[in-house]
Amino acid sequence: MSEIRRAFRGAWRLAHADPGGLALFDRSVDGFWRSFRAALVVAPAYAVQLALQFTARPPAAGWARVVAVEAIAYAVGWLAFPVVMHWVCRLLGREEAYVGYIVAYNWSSLVQVLVWMPALLLAYAGLGVLVLLAGQIGLLVYQWFIARTALAIDGLSAAAVAGLDLVLGYAIGSLADSMTY
């Protein structure tokens, strides 16, 4: 539990554009694997997001299929980006920064959910998609800062990394939707 608290503080500091937040993460190989625990911490928020989505637009598939597809999509979502980034880090000549970047990236989900869930709830309450757009832009800026800082890359490359994360996430979500709607 202390690692989660420490990682949250690191992610929070990164969200406030403080590169010193990186020092709060265990950026070892063991820390890399433990950072995937963040998926368990934010899973309830993902379930709430799905409940809102399914309330607004019920899926056509049966619930067993929906649960299976969404569980697989969630796992793939957590694994696909780190796999792709291993290759991207090689292309960028930043292989030595890969582990630390993924640690920061994974734990950043603890802060991201604090931004995304209120925006999502407000949007579903009728305050419009502009709230979601603002939340998405904020998260992209956050991801840009993490990539720029943890990988020590230029701003344009960091923007490409953040964009890659967005596109990959939408592709996985769209594929899951195509199997349930």
Q: Tokens for 128, please give them.
A: 């419009």
Whole-number pLDDT of residue 106: 99
Domain boundaries, the chain: 2-180
List the one residue out of 117, 121, 166, 110 whose CA is nearest residue 140: 166
| pLDDT range class, residue 48, cuts 50, 70, 90 | very high
Structure tokens at 18: 């403080």
Which residue has tokens 């929906």?
66
Closest to 147 measured CA to CA, from 164, 135, 134, 172: 164
Q: What is the pLDDT of residues 89-131, one digit of tens each?
A: 999 999 999 999 999 999 999 999 999 999 888 888 887 788 8
Kindly state the average pLDDT of the residues 148-159.
Answer: 99
Report the pLDDT value the prediction gives residue 137, as an integer from 0 to 100: 95
Mean pLDDT of 48-64: 88
The pLDDT, as a whole number, for residue 138 is 95
For the stretch 12-45, pLDDT in tens is 999 999 999 999 999 999 999 999 999 999 999 9
Amino acid symbol at 155: G
144 CB contacts (<8 Å, ≥6 apart)? 155, 158, 159, 161, 162
Residue listed under structure tokens 């991801």: 143
- pLDDT at residue number 1: 75
pLDDT (average), residues 123-145:
89
**pLDDT at residue 102, rounded to an integer:** 99
- Residue-wise DSSP of the chain: -HHHHHHHHHHHHHHTT-GGGGGGS--SHHHHHHGGGHHHHHHHHHHHHHHHHHHHS--SS-HHHHHHHHHHHHHHHHHHHHHHHHHHHHHHT-GGGHHHHHHHHHHHHHHHHHHHHHHHHHIIIII-HHHHHHHHHHHHHHHHHHHHHHHT--HHHHHHHHHHHHHHHHHHHHHHHHHH-
Query: What is residue 6's predicted lDDT score, i.e. its pLDDT?
Result: 98
pLDDT of the residue at 181: 86
**Quick one: pLDDT at residue 83?**
98
Residue 5, pLDDT score: 97
pLDDT band at 57 (very low <50, low <70, confident <90, very high): confident
Q: Could you give the percent of the chain with pLDDT greater than 90?
A: 81
